Amino acid sequence: MTSPEVPSVPVDEVPAEFDTEPGSSAILLDVREDDEWQLGHAPGAVHMPMADVPARVDELDYDAEIYVVCRQGGRSIQVVRYLTHVGFDAFHVSGGMVAWQQSGRPLAGPGGGEAKIY
């Protein structure tokens, strides 16, 4: 899923590593629900369900590039619209975690087990 007015990048253009510490240059923000996150997520991602983003926006670094991901793209487009509106440098990750898994990017599963996105 894509939207012409939302900055988007394909999975292969997302930086390989993320730093969750303040002052990092890139953040992968996973806006899926808790149950989706528990099934599998990208190592180093920050988990913040979409509904929580407005209340928790101060936890994000305005100086970092924020790559927003959900399952397939619908929620992340909405979050990127919001984040860019309030001054963040944010990008929608095209295809979401489904594309992430299909591309062979690393995944963390529940309790160190196998991750399942789809």
Is 70 one of the annotated active-site residues of the chain? yes
The whole-angstrom distance between residue 89's C-alpha and the CA centroid of its chain comes to 13
DSSP label at residue 118: -
Question: Could you say which of 6, 29, 69, 70 is catalytic?
Answer: 70
45-50: long-range contacts (C-beta < 8 A, 24 or more apart)?
45/18, 45/69, 46/18, 46/20, 50/75, 50/78, 50/79
**What's the rounded Cα separation, in Å, for the pair 97 and 11?**
9
**What's the rounded Cα separation, in Å, for the pair 18 and 82?**
22
Are the CB atoms for 2 and 96 separated by under 8 Å?
no
Return the active site residues. 70
